[in-house]
Chain A
Amino acid sequence: MAGKTEATATRAAYGDALLALGEAHEDVVALDADLSVSTQSAKFGDAFPDRFFNVGAAEANMMSMACGMAATGKRPYASTFAIFATGRAYDQIRLGIAHNELPVRVCASHGGVSLGEDGASHQMIEDIALMRVMPKMQVVVPADYNQAYRAVIDSYESDEPMYLRFGRPSTPVVYDEIPDSMGHGVDVLREGKDISLIATGHMVWRALDAAESLESEDGIEAEVVNVSIIKPLHSETVLESLAKTGVAVTAEEHRVVGGLADAVREVAAEQHPVPVFAVGMGDEFGVSGTGEACMEHFGLTARGIADRAREALLLKPIVSHPPLFGPDWT
């Protein structure tokens, strides 16, 4: 299916795909909390006003309403900024949606620091951790418009609760067209033998850029892995890459704690312990600036990934030697 070729925001895919879902399925309903133009759920609202519920600035009410609708046979898509979806309405998502295992899609736009000027109060950098730690919740972070469109379309088929994270800025596409499916949510976008660059969301295209510069500047062959379904994580694909390269750098627009970095480290620690370095947010909040300036401020760039990869490669020969005891190192 043809998708976008020019840089487009993933939230735009949400708006377009939600509209398509509304046309295809009578039971799709959408809710928003006075951010429908930003999240782009307004497209659905304009087309299906009877099935669209703008609750105003009342995110807790929105999530519990979505719970009630799903319990009555609807497929609710509830959107707002990531900060309000997961921060303000955590308990509502937890009891009403996750605990009940209801097919509600919590669709969070403006995840991360790339929303820019609004600053720390709006820059959600803990949402992946919050949703990942919540029992029964699936966590999906698409890399570009095309994958985001597929993620929203496919989400209709799932009977389980799902968190989807979208972003504000226009983002280069990494998939030439809309993929046929989400697959298991871990795609190797570029093969390499020296190091695994495991990225999610807005960091995927940056990881591809980083791999390019590592190769052209240092002759390093980096493998780039896009993790779009962080939970449940398809650990086999991650482990295959770790086994091949023996060292990894994760990259996410999110706190390293609880995010993709920890998801990969959990898998590695138990099944294939190799150094896993991380690019992401440390113990700090965001700041105001343009989206791109914010990303640069926190090192969430292709250069940031490449630099961390070089550090990791320095350590790789030291820690990758066979252990003195235990099973053979593979």
Chain B
Amino acid sequence: MGDAAPKPVKTEAANLASMSHLRPVPDPRPPSKEAARGESAPTIAELERWATVLRIECVRMLAVAKSGHLDSSLSAADIVSALYNRVLCHDPEDPAWRERDRFVLCKGHAAPIQYAALAHHGYFALEDLQGLRKIGKPLQGHPDMNRTPGVEVSTGSLGQGLSMCVGIALALRLDNLQDTAHVFGVLSDGDCQEGQTWEAATAAVHFGVTNLTAIVDYNHLQTDGTTEQVMDIGDMRAKFEAFGWDTVEIDGHDMGQIVEALERSRTLDRPAAIIAQTKKGRGVSFMEGRFGFHGKPPTPEQASDALDELESQLRRQTDALRAGGEDI
């Protein structure tokens, strides 16, 4: 932005038209339960490309909704891509499959990123994404288990999600499913400012939960400023370790690290925390790591710029995969 030559401003309708070719995913079905752990699991490059697809969907949704949390969704895109496209065992045709892994978006305000993943896996129609936050439509501002297929439990009030994850994990254990059904919760740094998260962290270890992974999307930005300015939560790795969790710290935008940490986490004999250092607004350069976009939808101009950037990223990723012989 800024120094670039002025470009024609696209209208909102033009934006949508330019997006309509965005059905670039040949087979929007999840890998099967077997594939997720086998040879046919999506490669790192494919997962990265998926993350770009999800980011594009988020920008489109927010541009239409004119409301929501875009930058919070973008920071979690790589984590969500790795989970839905490779790590989670789930069945969109049977969302209530008892042995499925559970995904809980503790940071419910990042709902668009989960909705994008769910839609691309066929939990509901891709067209439904454009109904985000609209009256009478299923996609609520924050995830709603009774309105949106694939949402395990409603979230949106920070701090409650990890407790819900502990409850789910224990219920699965009572059903003797703890070795197959794993619970993955994605937390924000705001979640970790809430005291309840630490009640849950204590309880998970006390109850000997083994089928739970908490991923902290630590993007260091919140509504009123940086987390360091507003309420510094400091060394999250040390904190979770002190609570008795197996803890690793990764670059939350390095797909290789994300996949490795997630897949390792489901093999442990205690709850696992993955501190993912991320950048808010990742993938959109004018937004990335910058304060002032939380809870603010992109203007049409911003959405246009963001889409240009993400679409060229997608083209690069697609071309690279094709060059490598992938059938994209």
A residues sitting closer than 8 Å to B (CB atoms) are 29, 50-51, 53, 55-56, 58, 60-74, 76, 91-92, 95-96, 99-101
Kindly list chain A residues whose C-beta atoms are within 8 Å of the C-beta of B200: 61, 64-65
Whole-angstrom CA separation of A53 from B164 in the bound complex: 14
Whole-angstrom CA separation of A56 from B166 in the bound complex: 15
Smallest CB separation, A217 vs chain B (Å): 54
Task: State whether B157 touches A68 (Cβ < 8 A).
Answer: no
Task: Decide: A95 near B156, CB < 8 A? Known: A61-B196, A68-B164, A68-B165.
Answer: yes
Among B152, B154, B163, max chain A CB count under 10 A is at B163
Task: State whether A95 touches B174 (Cβ < 8 A).
Answer: no
Task: State whether A95 touches B160 (Cβ < 8 A).
Answer: yes
Whole-angstrom CA separation of A70 from B171 in the bound complex: 8
Kindly list chain A residues whose C-beta atoms are within 8 Å of the C-beta of B207: 53
Smallest CB separation, A249 vs chain B (Å): 40
Task: State whether B172 touches A72 (Cβ < 8 A).
Answer: yes
Smallest CB separation, A72 vs chain B (Å): 4
Kindly list chain B residues whose C-beta atoms are within 8 Å of the C-beta of A61: 163, 166, 196, 199-200, 203
Q: Which 5 A-B residue pairings sit nearest by Cβ, starting from the closest?
A: A68-B167, A64-B163, A72-B171, A65-B167, A61-B199
Total B residues in contact with A, Cβ cutoff 8 Å? 34
Task: State whether A96 touches B160 (Cβ < 8 A).
Answer: yes
Q: What is the chain B residue whose CB lies nearest that of A58?
A: B199
How many inter-chain contacts with C-beta < 8 Å in the A-B complex?
A: 105
| B175 close to chain A: CB less than 8 A | yes
Which of B242-279 touch A at CB < 8 Å?
Answer: none
Interface pairs (19), CB distance under 8 Å: A53-B170, A55-B203, A64-B167, A65-B203, A68-B165, A68-B169, A68-B171, A71-B153, A72-B168, A73-B98, A74-B171, A76-B167, A91-B160, A92-B157, A95-B154, A96-B153, A100-B145, A100-B146, A100-B153
Q: What is the chain A residue whose CB lies nearest that of B152?
A: A71
Kindly list chain A residues whose C-beta atoms are within 8 Å of the C-beta of B43: none
Task: Decide: A58 near B203, CB < 8 A? Known: A68-B164, A96-B153, A100-B153.
Answer: yes
Kindly list chain B residues whose C-beta atoms are within 8 Å of the C-beta of A64: 160-161, 163-164, 167, 196, 200
Smallest CB separation, A96 vs chain B (Å): 6
Which of A29, A67, A91, A92 interacts with B153 by CB under 8 Å? A67
Smallest CB separation, A36 vs chain B (Å): 15
Q: What is the chain A residue whose CB lies nearest that of B172?
A: A72
Task: State whether A91 touches B166 (Cβ < 8 A).
Answer: no
Task: Decide: A50 near B174, CB < 8 A? Known: A61-B163, A95-B160.
Answer: yes
Whole-angstrom CA separation of A70 from B153 in the bound complex: 10
Whole-angstrom CA separation of A60 from B172 in the bound complex: 21
